[in-house]
Amino acid sequence: MAKMGPTMESWESDQNSEDDKDIPILDASMLHSSVDFEKGMSWWPPVTLLLIVACVVFFCFQAATGGLTDLNRMTEMGALSKPHVAQGEFWRLLSGPFLHASHDHLIGNLLMLFVLGMACEHAFGSSQFVFLYVVAAVGGSCASLIHDSVSVGASGAIFGLAGALVGLFRRNKSLLHLRDRRIGFVIGFWVVYQIVCGLLSPQIDNLAHAGGFCTGLLLGIVTPPALLNDRDEFGRRPAVRLMLVAASTVLVMASVSFIPRLIPS
């Protein structure tokens, strides 16, 4: 009896078996690939640099008009003061974070503002970053009002940026990839170091640090990151635009009362 060739049915079965081998099996890691956090991060974050310039300009006015050596003059310019806020000068909640007590105070804060601001502005987008910074600054100032001392410095807002990054990575730890995890340890060490210094020195406003950090932490958890979305489309969202308008309005209103005080009457 002669051997028969493969039937059509058997050939189709073999072909289907070969095709099945080309179909990949999906798992969770393939469905949820992480985003490189540092990719595309700009060394020239516009809002962060604008904040730095503003702090430097205001510091120059302080140095030129006695606002570094005279506590009364510093308070007159816009330092955070509980009695003045109680009298309705709420703009001091924002003016205080733009003033500083010394050259060292300014330089230390601006270095951390640049590092943390660059990361936060990249992660949340410029519009949300303005909102985050303003709210964290106000949160730090509100906590500082628990005591009666005059307070100045951007560290409350800067702690807010650190808190926002912690909240961001806590909520999106499976979606974000950080190339160098030592960055997190550096930020954590800086936060702990500042708090310890505050405990050892009555001149450091730890309440502002704690208030700013907690405010930023909450914002970092609930604020959607621009990094995980299309940035152009994200910036056009009504909620994002509303955040920018709200923060800008508060800044302008505070500036109307604050800036004229930079020049002695």
Question: pTM, whole model, 2 decimals?
Answer: 0.84
Residue 81 known to be catalytic: no
pLDDT tens for 85-115 read 999 999 999 999 999 999 999 999 999 999 9
Catalytic residue among 105, 209, 255, 265: 209
Question: Is residue 186 assigned to a domain?
Answer: yes
Residue 32 known to be catalytic: no
Contact call for residues 47 and 117 (beta carbons, < 8 A): yes
pLDDT tens for 166-193 read 999 888 888 887 776 666 677 777 778 7
Question: Is residue 153 assigned to a domain?
Answer: yes
Question: Is residue 35 assigned to a domain?
Answer: no
Question: Is residue 233 assigned to a domain?
Answer: yes
Contact call for residues 73 and 80 (beta carbons, < 8 A): no
Question: Is residue 250 assigned to a domain?
Answer: yes
Alpha helix ranges (H) inside the chain:
8-20, 28-31, 46-65, 71-77, 82-86, 92-95, 103-124, 126-144, 155-171, 182-200, 206-222, 231-235, 238-258
Q: How many distinct structural domains can be found in the chain? A: 1
- Dihedral through CA 107, CA 258, CA 160, CA 38, nearest 10? -60
Please give the C-alpha separations between residue 137 and each of 88, 119, 130, in angstroms, as whole numbers.
Answer: 18, 17, 11
Contact call for residues 245 and 195 (beta carbons, < 8 A): no
The rounded distance, in Å, linking the Cα atoms of 64 and 57 is 11
Please give the C-alpha separations between residue 227 and each of 124, 167, 184, 193, 247, in angstroms, as whole numbers.
Answer: 6, 14, 18, 29, 21
Contact call for residues 117 and 174 (beta carbons, < 8 A): no
**Among 234, 213, 215, 210, which Cα is nearest to 122's?**
234
Residues 6+ apart with CB under 8 A from 101: 68, 74, 152, 153
Contact call for residues 99 and 254 (beta carbons, < 8 A): no
Question: Is residue 27 assigned to a domain?
Answer: no
CA 151-198-104 angle, 5° bins: 65
pLDDT at 3: 45
Question: Is residue 131 assigned to a domain?
Answer: yes
Structural domain harbouring 196? 41-262
Catalytic residue among 10, 155, 174, 248: 155
The three-state secondary structure class of 146 is coil
- For the chain, 265 residues long, give each residue's pLDDT as a single digit of tens: 444 455 555 545 555 555 555 554 444 444 445 787 878 888 899 999 999 999 999 999 999 999 999 999 999 999 999 999 999 999 999 999 999 999 999 999 999 999 999 999 999 999 999 999 999 999 999 999 998 889 999 999 999 999 999 999 888 888 887 776 666 677 777 778 777 877 767 677 889 999 999 999 999 999 999 998 888 899 899 999 999 999 999 999 999 999 999 998 7
Question: Is residue 185 assigned to a domain?
Answer: yes
The rounded distance, in Å, linking the Cα atoms of 38 and 124 is 13
CATH of the domain at 169: 1.20.1540.10
